[in-house]
């Protein structure tokens, strides 16, 4: 083939490889202790239970489980998820408000497709989930970062930014938030701020995209209702969650909950993407959820991850050189560490790989160049021994960096 470059779309020319995917490749070296990916612990996968369910699905639903399904997804699974959402505080929900997607990543892409023309602006946390940034950027949009504090996205900055944009004739299309055990910072937006966010979105007529993969990985706080639970008046919140962190990411199953109007539109976007989500895994997940196994499984995962979180935090406290800050997340999969002045976690990554330990550098989660001194550390994937050893290795890497800065 000759020069492909002249044939690619402008969009393709602007596409960049995902830093996370590249890191996951490096982290596949078995000698590397990887705190990089957002991977569940494979020992948590309920392989035997799923094996039994798979056989039952084949026996009882084989003909439809192997067939194409509707674009919106399996009705029984949508009903199940609507009932679960109701229990979590989202009252105005039926199966008609639910779409089953190929992972939340697909739902993020659908949101981009639905709202973003080239040059449009959306508001995202600073920091925020890297896959969200990638999905929205692929529609050639501009992303404006809104800083977080210990309670998540700052509403004062959000409102000032929206006012400025409107003053400059820019319409903010949506606000993307991960309000519970945020990726990467781990923070939780309290109920009061969730309501403020709804008020701001209402006042300036902006959509909210609420991404909630980690809400159920809750180790020690009371359940906080989703933002969608306060979306009483006009259905401006698109909520999404996923089976990836509470069952198995290999299933590629997630779901959105939105008004019927938005759901109709998103279904049209999805038709062109994949016709339908994997029917077979929808049957399996439906059976697992229906039997009550999902809730028991979530309890088991939390019992496995909470000590891993504790171990990582105490290893950091024990081994990291002074001058860092680190949250103790109440849920999710990540510790977020900020290192002393002068350290660049992006360039330090190569040193870390030499010492056989991996993380994701903070800049990857910022649309505005921030996060230079920060890093995200996943604690769900590694064994307890690996956590201890990996943090020790990382502490050595950091100390060496500090020595060269001081020298
Ligand atoms: C905040 C956030 N949103 C979406 C996703 C994508 O999840 P899925 O596996 O459902 O595509 C992730 C995965 O790490 C995530 O952290």
The domain that holds 228 is classified in CATH as 3.40.640.10
Which of residues 293, 317, 336 is at a domain's end? 293
Q: How confident is the model at residue 13 (pLDDT cuts 50, 70, 90)?
A: confident
> In this model, does residue 232 exceed pLDDT 90?
no
- List b or e across 183-220, with b for residues whose CB sees 16 or more CB atoms inside 10 angstroms: bbbbbbbeeebbebbbebbeebebbbbbbbbbbbbbbe
The domain that holds 337 is classified in CATH as 3.90.1150.10
Instruction: Tell me: do 179 and 253 sit in the same domain.
Output: yes
Cα of 213 to ligand 1 centre, how many Å?
Answer: 6
Residue 20's pLDDT is what?
Answer: 64
Residue 23's pLDDT is what?
Answer: 66
pLDDT tens by residue, 53-73:
999 999 999 999 999 999 999
Cα of 105 to ligand 1 centre, how many Å?
Answer: 6
Distance CA 354, CA 338 (A): 21
Distance CA 81, CA 240 (A): 11
Pocket test residue of 128, 129, 178 for ligand 1, highest count of atoms within 8 A of CB: 129
Instruction: Tell me: do 308 and 320 sit in the same domain.
Output: yes
Stated as kind and residue range, the H or E segment containing 357 is strand 357-358
For 302-307, the CB contacts below 8 A with 24+ separation are 302/217, 302/218, 302/219, 304/41, 304/43, 304/44, 305/41, 305/217, 305/219, 305/333, 305/379, 305/380, 306/219, 306/220, 307/384
Which of residues 293, 319, 353 is at a domain's end? 293
Q: Among residues of the chain, what percentage have pLDDT more than 70?
A: 97
Instruction: Tell me: do 251 and 113 sit in the same domain.
Output: yes
Cα of 310 to ligand 1 centre, how many Å?
Answer: 23
Q: Is residue 384 assigned to a domain? A: yes
* Least confident segment among 13-17, 74-78, 196-200, 398-402: 13-17
Q: How confident is the model at residue 24 (pLDDT cuts 50, 70, 90)?
A: low
Instruction: Tell me: do 312 and 262 sit in the same domain.
Output: no
Written as six digits, the tokens of 85 are 């959402």
DSSP 39: P
Q: Among residues of the chain, what percentage have pLDDT more than 90?
A: 89
Relative orientation angle of helices 384-406 and 345-354, to the nearest 10 degrees: 120
Which residues form the domain of 164? 67-293
* Least confident segment among 17-31, 212-226, 387-401: 17-31
Instruction: Tell me: do 153 and 27 sit in the same domain.
Output: no
Q: How many domains does the chain have?
A: 2
Q: Which residues line ligand 1 (CB under 6 A)?
A: 38, 103-105, 129, 131, 178, 183, 211, 213, 242, 244, 249, 254
Residue whose tokens read 């902006």: 206
pTM higher than 0.85 for the full model? yes
> In this model, does residue 28 exceed pLDDT 90?
no
- Nearest atom in ligand 1 to the alpha carbon of residue 178 is 1
Per the prediction, the chain carries an average pLDDT of 95
pLDDT tens by residue, 261-298:
999 999 999 999 999 999 999 999 999 999 889 999 99
- Nearest atom in ligand 1 to the alpha carbon of residue 253 is 10
Cα of 390 to ligand 1 centre, how many Å?
Answer: 24
Q: Is residue 148 assigned to a domain? A: yes
pLDDT tens by residue, 116-128:
999 999 999 999 9
Instruction: Tell me: do 16 and 86 sit in the same domain.
Output: no
């Amino acid at each position: 083939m000759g020069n492909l470059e002249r044939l690619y779309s402008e969009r393709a020319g602007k596409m960049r490889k995902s830093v996370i995917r590249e890191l996951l490749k490096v982290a596949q070296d078995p000698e590397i202790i990887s705190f990089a990916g957002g991977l569940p612990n494979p020992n948590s996968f309920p392989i035997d239970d799923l094996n039994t369910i798979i056989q039952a699905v084949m026996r009882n639903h084989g003909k439809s489980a192997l067939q194409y399904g509707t674009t919106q997804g399996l009705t029984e699974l949508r009903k199940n998820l609507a009932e679960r959402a109701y229990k979590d505080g989202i009252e105005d929900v039926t199966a008609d408000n639910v779409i089953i997607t190929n992972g939340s990543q697909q739902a993020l892409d659908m949101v981009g497709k639905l709202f973003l023309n080239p040059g449009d602006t959306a508001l995202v946390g600073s920091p925020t989930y890297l896959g969200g940034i990638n999905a929205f950027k692929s529609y050639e949009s501009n992303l404006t970062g809104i800083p977080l504090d210990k309670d998540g996205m700052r509403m004062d900055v959000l409102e000032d930014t929206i006012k400025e944009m409107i003053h400059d004739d820019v319409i903010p299309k949506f606000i993307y938030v991960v309000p519970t055990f945020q990726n990467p910072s781990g923070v939780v937006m309290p109920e009061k701020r969730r309501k403020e966010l709804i008020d701001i979105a209402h006042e300036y007529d902006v959509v909210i995209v609420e991404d909630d993969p980690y809400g159920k990985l809750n180790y020690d706080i009371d359940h906080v209702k989703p933002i969608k639970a306060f979306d009483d008046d006009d259905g401006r919140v698109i909520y999404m969650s996923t089976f990836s962190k509470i069952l198995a990411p290999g299933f590629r199953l997630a779901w959105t909950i939105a008004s019927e109007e938005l759901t109709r539109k998103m279904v049209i976007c999805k038709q062109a993407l994949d016709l339908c989500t994997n029917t077979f895994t929808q049957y399996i997940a439906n059976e697992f959820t229906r039997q009550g196994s999902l809730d028991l499984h979530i309890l088991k995962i939390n019992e496995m991850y909470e000590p891993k979180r504790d171990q990582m935090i105490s290893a950091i406290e024990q081994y990291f050189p002074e001058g860092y800050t680190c949250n103790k997340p109440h849920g999710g999969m990540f510790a977020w560490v900020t290192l002393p002045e002068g350290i660049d976690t992006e360039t330090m990554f190569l040193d870390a790989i030499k010492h056989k330990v991996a993380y994701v550098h903070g800049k990857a989660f910022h649309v505005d160049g921030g996060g230079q001194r920060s890093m995200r550390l996943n604690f769900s994937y590694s064994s307890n021994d690996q956590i201890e050893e990996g943090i020790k290795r990382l502490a050595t890497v950091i100390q060496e960096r500090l020595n060269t800065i001081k020298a």
